[in-house]
Amino acid sequence: MGEDLEKLKQRLSLLDYLRQQNWIARPAGRGSEFVGLCPLHPETRPSFYVNVHKNLFYCHGCGQGGDLLRFVQLFRQLSFRQSLAYLEQYRAAAADPAAVLEKAATFYQQQRDRYPEARCYLKQRGLHDPVLIKEMRIGYAPGGSLRRYLTAQGYSSDLLQHLGLLNRKSHDAFYRRIIFPCCQEGRVINLYGRSIAAAFVHRFLPGSKGGLYAWEQVRQCPEVILVEGLFDYAVLWQAGFRHLTCSLGTHLNRYQFRQLCDRPRTVYLTFDVDINGSGQQASQRLAHQLQVQGIAARRVLLPEGHDPNSFFVQGGDAGQFQALLEAALP
What are the residues binding Zn ion (CB under 5 A)? Answer: 38, 40-41, 59, 61-62
Quick one: 12 or 38, whose CB is closer to Zn ion?
38
- Is 261 within 8 Å of 293 (Cβ atoms)? yes
Supply the minimum distance, in Å, between the C-beta of residue 248 and Zn ion.
37
Of 50 and 159, the one with the shorter C-beta distance to Zn ion is 50
- Whether the CB-CB separation of 90 and 162 falls below 8 Å is answered with yes
CB nearer to Zn ion: pick between 73 and 245: 73
Q: State the nearest-atom distance from the C-beta of 58 to Zn ion, in Å.
A: 9
51 versus 156: smaller Cβ distance to Zn ion:
51
CB nearer Zn ion, residue 42 or residue 330 = 42
Degrees (nearest 5) of the Cα angle 295, 300, 306?
A: 140
Smallest distance from the beta carbon of 43 to Zn ion, in angstroms? 7
Helix (H) / strand (E) containing 202: none
CB atoms within 10 A of CB 120: 11
Neighbours of 95 (CB within 10 A): 9
Cα(330)–Cα(328) distance, rounded to whole angstroms? 7
From the CB of residue 178, how many other CB atoms can be counted at a distance below 10 Å?
A: 25
Residue 19 or 41 with smaller CB distance to Zn ion = 41
Q: Of 215, 223, 220, which is closest to residue 183 (Cα–Cα)?
A: 215
Q: Which residues lie closer than 8 Å to 261 by C-beta, 6 or more apart?
A: 290, 293, 294, 295
Write down the least CB distance from residue 155 to Zn ion, Å: 33
Q: Write down the least CB distance from residue 40 to Zn ion, Å.
A: 5
CA 281 to chain CA centroid, Å, is 23
CA distance 46 to 99: 37
Give min distance, CB of 91 to Zn ion, in A.
25
